[in-house]
Amino acid sequence: MKKLQITGFLLVFAVVTGCGQSANPESLAKKIGSLYRESMVKLAEIVKGQPDAEKVEVKIKKLKEEMIQKFVKVGKLREKLSKEDKKKTNWKLWSVNSKLRKEDTEFDASWKLMNKSQQLYREDGNYKLSRLISSFNIIQQYAQFELLRRQVSKDAKRLGVDK
């Protein structure tokens, strides 16, 4: 019984800490692409029908932070890769992203709705919300710390990945 409890604890520990997760360029690129898809689909659900800006802004901020945390977790695995494997991950991610737009109709519709929504909110004079929505376009940088450090150094520091 004691051995079973210890094994169970170690399994839970590995899942919670990310230990034992496969960290190779292909699996990381697929995971980052999957998170990008998830963020776009969830964002589209929030902005569908262009709801009142005040109502959606809080939801979008919450979603963005939730997704950032997921990207950072994958980014920490990516950071352990060699420089060469990071480059391979980037190339594979480019391929994954290309397939999303071409082959995933739900993603494509969500991406188009995101772009349309940010445009409509901007035309209504809500520039802050428009920028928040359009920031999802580059949310993958939260798994690519070298980009995050250059482009959003304040967030890199906040998330503890600035070094």
Per-residue pLDDT tens, the chain, 163 aa: give them: 555 454 444 433 343 334 455 589 999 999 999 999 999 999 999 999 999 998 899 999 999 999 999 999 999 999 999 999 999 999 999 999 999 989 999 999 999 999 999 999 999 999 999 999 999 999 999 999 999 999 999 999 999 998 8
How many other CB atoms are there within 10 angstroms of residue 161's CB atom? 17
Reduced 3-state DSSP string for 57-104 = HHHHHHHHHHHHHHHHHHHHHHHCCCHHHHHHHHHHHHHHHHHHHHHC
Q: How many CB atoms lie within 10 A of CB 102?
A: 10
Can you read off the two tokens belonging to residue 6? 């210890």
107 in Cβ contact with 37 (< 8 Å): yes
Tokens of 147: 């980009």
Helix axes 25-47, 53-79, angle to 10 degrees: 180
> Quick one: 31 exposed, middle or buried, by C-beta within 10 A (0-12, 13-18, 19+)?
buried
